[in-house]
Amino acid sequence: MTTGHDHITFVDWDHRPAVLVDGKALAVLRPGAAWVSVDEFDVRHTGGVMSEAAWRRRFVGEFGRLDVLRWRPMAQDNVPQSKPLPKAKDFDNAVRAVYAAWMEGRAGSDQAGLVGVAGETGD
């Protein structure tokens, strides 16, 4: 199971791909090599922070595809709720209730208009 992390920072560290995550630094020291733990202080203070897209463009030619999935922050799909989330039928029922109230109000105003007109012509 993959664990999530709060933030991942992409770094060009001495012309090598590196990431800063959870107070640690990891880098690929040469093409084809695996990720290794390196000095976080050195990477943080001497490396150039980049966007992920720029980081990938910079290193894809020499280092190939760099897998950072294990450090990527995990999006939580089902955020805990204090009460159950509404279902589609709940939304349908709400729309029906609003429509019924609108129709009732419209019918009431039409009847009031007819009574007023009838009262005017009958007097």
74, 4 contact by CB (below 8 A): yes
Low-confidence ranges of the chain (pLDDT < 70): 1-6, 70-83, 85, 108-123
26, 40 contact by CB (below 8 A): no
The Cβ of residue 63 has, within 10 Å, a number of other Cβ atoms equal to: 16
Strands 8-13 and 16-21, by their bridges, are antiparallel
Per DSSP, 69 falls in state G
Q: What pLDDT score was predicted for residue 109?
A: 66
Q: What pLDDT score was predicted for residue 114?
A: 53
pTM above 0.75, yes or no: no
Q: What pLDDT score was predicted for residue 17?
A: 93
Rounded to the nearest angstrom, the gap between the alpha carbon of residue 86 and the centroid of all alpha carbons in its chain is 20
Residue type at 98 in one-letter notation: V
Residue type at 122 in one-letter notation: G
DSSP H or E run through 11: strand 8-13
